[in-house]
Amino acid sequence: MQLTPMRFSTIEGTEVTVRVNSPAEAKTAIKELRHRKKEVGLHRRALLRRLKLATKAQARASREAAQRARRGGLLGSIAKARSLFRSNKPLQDAEALEQELHLVDETLHNIDICIVQIEGKLLLHS
């Protein structure tokens, strides 16, 4: 996931760090983090959509394999021969998508934590 650079915040993996020196910078950092949260949320929705498609494709492939195994005779041999020439790899790996989705959820959680901490410090200093 390629994200735009931020002035006061850095995200490395799922770790979010913020460095500010004044309340004005803190308010700007909060705006940056909220914007980044929206970007990561959009990426999360895209991952969910891809995961849904991948699970449907895997279910469809397993159903088709079971149907081919049950067929016999001429139709079964034609279906088996046709499957030899078709690629059997799934479109996307569902497990890899689930792992990436977990990392994105953790990043969103860490962004929320940073926002709450900055807002808390702003309340103490105002």
User: In order along the chain (126 residues), what is the average pLDDT of each group of 10 residues?
Assistant: 80 92 94 95 96 90 77 72 66 86 96 96 87
Residue 28, C-beta contacts closer than 8 angstroms, at least 6 positions apart:
7, 8
Predicted confidence (pLDDT) per residue in 23-58, tens digit? 999 999 999 999 999 999 999 999 999 999 999 988
Fill in the DSSP letter of residue 71: -
Dihedral angle of Cα 103, 107, 110, 111, to the nearest 10 degrees: -170
Classified as helix, coil or strand, 4 is coil
Model-level pTM? 0.77
Domain extents in the chain: 9-125
- What pLDDT score does 40 carry? 95
CB 18 within 8 A of CB 29: yes
- What pLDDT score does 88 carry? 59
Question: What token pair was written down for 41?
Answer: 């949320």
